[in-house]
Structure 1
Amino acid sequence: MKNQNQNSIALAIKSFNTPINIINLLSSFFLFACGITCGIIFTFYFKNFSVNLQVINGQILNYSSLNSHPLSPPPPPSPRSIIPRVGLNEYIKPINVEHDMSDEELFWRSSMVPKVKEFPFKRVPKVAFMFLTRGPILLSPLWELFFKGNEGFYSIYIHSDPSYNQSHVDESSIFHGRRIPSKEVEWGKINMVEAEKRLLANALLDISNQRFVLLSEACIPLFNFSTIYTHLMNSMKNFVETYDQPGPVGRGRYHPRMSPTIKLPQWRKGSQWFAMDRDLALEVVSDQTYFSVFKKHCKGSCYADEHFLPTFVSMKFEKRNTGRTLTWTLTWVDWSKGGPHPTRYYRSDISVEFLKKLRSESSCEYNGEKTSVCHLFARKFTPHALSRLLIFAPKVMQFNH
C-alpha cells in the first residue's frame, strides 16, 4: 500500500514536470487573462455606448422611449449634456451690442426681413439713437436727463474711434456698454459712410427699432423725449436732407466715371445727420451697387458723407423722403460764418432766448401740414456749454414731461 502511494506521487510529480503540461498550463493562464481583459473592455465600452444613446441634443432618449409604453423613466441629464437654447428672444433682441461679425457678415445678417407681418410677441416700437463720435459723449449728462423715465422706448448705439478707452464710463450710465465694434473714421472719407452703415446694421439687429437717428457727440435735443419720439414715429416720411447745388462744392464734386450708374443730374448734397424708418435703413445696409460706385470714385474733395445718402435716397426713394433742404433740416446748424465747419457754441452763447429760437424759428411741412417743429436736434455744442445747458435746457425743453 505504501509503495502504491509513493508511485502515485512520483507519477504526479513526473507529469507536472513534463514540458507538454507546462505549456498547457501557461496557455490556460493566458486565455484566462485575455478573457478577463476583454470582459473589462467590453463592459466599459457598452456602458459609454448606452450613455451616448441616451443623450442626444440635450434630451434623454433610450430604446424604451421609442415604444409607446416605456419601461422606466430615463435618468436626468448631466449639465454638460444640455445644449443652451437659442430662442426667439435671442433673435429679436441681441443681449449685447458687441460681436465678432465682419462688416460683410453684419450687413448680411441685418438685412434679413421676416415675411410674416404679424409679430408673434408683444413689441414696443423704439427709436435707435446712433452716435457717431471720436471719443466719449461729451454732453452725456444732458442726454441722461433727456432719456430718463423713457426706458423701453429707445436704444443707444455708439461708434467711436477704436483707440478710445471707455473705462471712465460709469456702469450706471445709459451709454455704458453701448459701443458697437468700430473702425477708424476720417472726416470726409468713405469710411465715414461705412461707419453710418455699421451703426444702422447693428441697430437693425433689434427688431423693435423702427426709427433710426444719426447724431454726433456735439448734438443736443431741442424737445423732450415724448415730443421727439411721437414726431418720428408718426411721420409718414424720412428725414434725409437732399438738394441739388451747382458749383464746385455741389455738382463739382461729381466724378464722370460714376456714370451710368449715377449721372450728374442725379447728384445730390445734404447733411449726413438723418432720421429714417426701418424700411429705408434696410435698403441702405443692403445696397451694394451705389455704395461700390462711391467707394471707387468719391475720393479726395468729394466728401462721400455729404453725397452718398442724399444721392441714393433721391434716386431710389424720393417719394418716401421729405427732401428737407439746408434751410430747415432735422438737426439745426449754423453755417452763416462760412468755412468747412459750422459755428460752435460755448457757455456764453447759451440762454433761454437762444434755445427758444432754435425750437421755433422755422416753418416746415409735417405729414402734409405746416408746423414749427422743424429742428428736433441742434449742433455744434462744446463741453464748455454743458453747465448752462443743464440749467436752462430742462426748463425750456420740458424734460420729464
Structure 2
Amino acid sequence: MQTRVIQMEDGKENGILIRSVKSKPFPAKLLLILGLFLAFALTVFVISVSTIKYTGLQSVVTTVTSGFVTCREDEPNSLSKWIQPPAVLMHNMSDEELLWRASFWPRRKEYPFQRVPKVAFMFLTKGPLPLALLWERFLKGHKGLYSVYVHPHPSFTAKFPATSVFHQRQIPSQVAEWGRMTMCDAEKRLLANALLDISNEWFVLVSESCIPLFNFTTIYSYLSRSKHSFMGAFDDPGPFGRGRYNHNMEPEVPITKWRKGSQWFEINRELAATIVKDTLYYPKFKEFCRPACYVDEHYFPTMLTIEKPMALANRSLTWVDWSRGGPHPATFGRSDITEKFFEKILDGKNCIYNGRNTSMCYLFARKFAPSALESLLHIAPKILGY
C-alpha cells in the first residue's frame, strides 16, 4: 500500500492530481504493413497517370480534335461549299426556302478565288424547246461562260442527251398563268435557282420561241461591258399603264413610280438578288394587280424603279413585233426567215448604250414558231454569226 500511494503523490502539483501516461512503443509489424500499403498505392498511382497520359488522354484529345476540325478544303464548311454550283438542279426546297437561300449574296465586290462571271440563260417555257438545236449551236465552244435553266410546265419532263447543254437543266417548276402572279413566281424561281451558282453574273429571261441575234462572244461582251441592266420601265399615262393602277397599293407603291415594261429582261446579279429578296412589294401586286392589270408587265419594272432606278437602261434587249395588234406579238414561221427580215430587226432603231448612241439595240428576238427552225439553222451562219 505504501508504494502505491507514493507513486500517486509524485503526480500531484498544487493539490491537483495529474496522471502521467507513458506511451507504448508502436508495433513494428504494423509499421511494416503500413509501409507496404503506401508503396503499393504509390505504384498504382504512377502506373495510372502513365496510362492516362500515353493512352487514354491521347484518345480523348484525338477524338475531340477530329470532331471540330472544319477548315479543311474537303470539309462541308469550307469555302468550296459556297462557290460550287449545285451538282443537281432538282431539289425539294419550297419556294419560300429557295428564295430565302438565294437571297444570300456577297457584300464585298472582291472575290477570294478566281471567278469567271457567267451568263445565266433562263428558259420560261410551256414544255418542249423546239429551237434547242439553234441554241446548242449558239452556245457551242463557250463552256464555263454560261449556265442554262429551264422552267417548263410541271407535267413536262425534258429528255435531252448527255451531250446537250439542256441535259438535266430543268428546275422544280409550278404552273405559270399568263398575266397572273404565278408568272412572276416562275421568273423568281428561275432567278433564285440561278443565284445559287455564285459565278452567274447576268440573268437573261427567254422563252422557247426566243433566238439570239448575235454570236455568243458579241452578246457576252455587250452584257459584261454595260453599266446598266436591261428592263423596260416607262410611265404610261394611258389606260394600259396608269389606268391599271390601284390606289390600295399605296404607300409602298405610289402612282408616280408605277411603271410598265416587257416581261423579257436581262439583269445583273445585284438586281436579281433584289427581286428575289422582295417581301415588301410582292403582297401589294399579288392582291391588287390582277387582270386586266397584268402583273408580269408591272411588278419588276415598278419595284426596281423604286429600289434601283439608276441601274436600269429602261429598255429590253428582246425584240418583238406588235405591229399586227392584239394581246400577243406576231409569230414568225419558215416563210418569214429571210435576210431582209433580219435587216429590219438589226438596223431598224437607235438607242443608248453606256451613254452613247448605238444601232445595236437588241440581242434576242421572239416569237419564232417550231417551223422556223430549219430556216434559222440555214441562215444563222451568214446573218447571225453562229
Same fold (TM over 0.5): yes
| Consecutive unaligned residues in structure 2, runs of 5 or more | 1-54, 63-73
89, 102, 105: which one aligns with 1:97:
89
Name the structure 1 match of 2:377.
Answer: 390
Number of the residue aligned with 1:132:
124
Taking structure 2 as the reference length, the TM-score comes to 0.79
Contact conserved, 1:350 with 1:389, CA < 8 A, in 2? Answer: yes
Q: Which of 295, 298, 301 lines up with 2:286 in the alignment?
A: 295
**Alpha-carbon distance in structure 2 between the residues aligned to 1:333 and 1:118:** 38
Task: Give the structure 2 partner of residue 43 of structure 1.
Answer: none
1:322 alignment partner in structure 2: 313
Give the 3-state SS of the residue equivalent to 1:370 in structure 2.
Answer: strand
Aligned to 1:98, what secondary structure does the other structure show? coil
SS of alignment partner, residue 348 of structure 1: helix
Give the partner amino acid of 2:380: A
2:149 is aligned to 157
In the alignment, the residues of structure 2 paired with residue 301 and residue 89 of structure 1 have an alpha-carbon distance, to the nearest angstrom, of 47
Of the two, which has the highest radius of gyration? Answer: 2
Aligned to 2:277: 286
Q: Tell me the distance in 1 between the aligned counterparts of 2:301 and 2:266.
A: 12
User: 1:288, 1:249 → 2: CA distance?
Assistant: 26
Counterpart of 1:312, as a letter, is M
Q: Secondary structure at the match of 1:301?
A: coil
Instruction: Give, as a single letter, the amino acid of the residue that structure 2 aligns with 1:112.
Output: F
- Hey, what's the Cα distance between the residues in 2 that align with 1:395 and 1:90? 44
Contact kept in structure 2, 1:254 and 1:267, CA below 8 Å: yes
Instruction: Tell me the SS of whatever aligns to 1:121.
Output: coil
> Which amino acid in structure 2 is aligned with residue 64 of structure 1?
Q
Q: Do structure 1's residue 230 and structure 2's residue 259 form an aligned pair?
A: no
Q: Is the 8 A contact 1:355 1:393 kept in 2?
A: no
Q: Is the 8 A contact 1:189 1:304 kept in 2?
A: yes
State the match for 1:166 in structure 2.
Answer: 158
The corresponding residue for 1:365 is 352
Structure 1 contact 200–281 (Cα < 8 Å) conserved:
yes
Matching residue of 1:118? 110
1:165 alignment partner AA = T
* Mapped pair 1:355 → 2:342: yes
Q: Which residue of 1 aligns with 2:325?
A: 338
Whichever residue aligns with residue 359 of structure 1, its letter is L
The root-mean-square deviation of aligned C-alpha atoms, in Å, is: 1.7
Instruction: Please say if 1:64 is aligned against 2:58.
Output: yes
Per-residue deviation at 1:292? 1.2
1:145 to 137, 142, 145: 137
Q: Percent identity?
A: 52
Distance (Å, rounded) in 2 between the aligned partners of 1:146 and 1:380: 18
TM-score (norm 1): 0.77
- The structural deviation recorded for 1:125 is 0.5
1:178 aligns with 2:169: yes
Give the AA of the match of 2:335: S
- 1:264 deviates by 1.9
Amino acid at match of 2:336: D
SS of match in other structure, 1:173: coil
Does the alignment pair 1:266 with 2:257?
Answer: yes
Cα deviation 1:65-93 (Å, max 9, x = unaligned): 567xx9xxxxxxxxxxxxx8424334221
- Point out where structure 1 has 5 or more consecutive residues left out of the alignment: 1-60, 71-83
Question: How far does residue 116 in structure 1 lie from its aligned partner after superposition?
Answer: 4.4
Residue from 334, 352, 363 that aligns with 1:376: 363
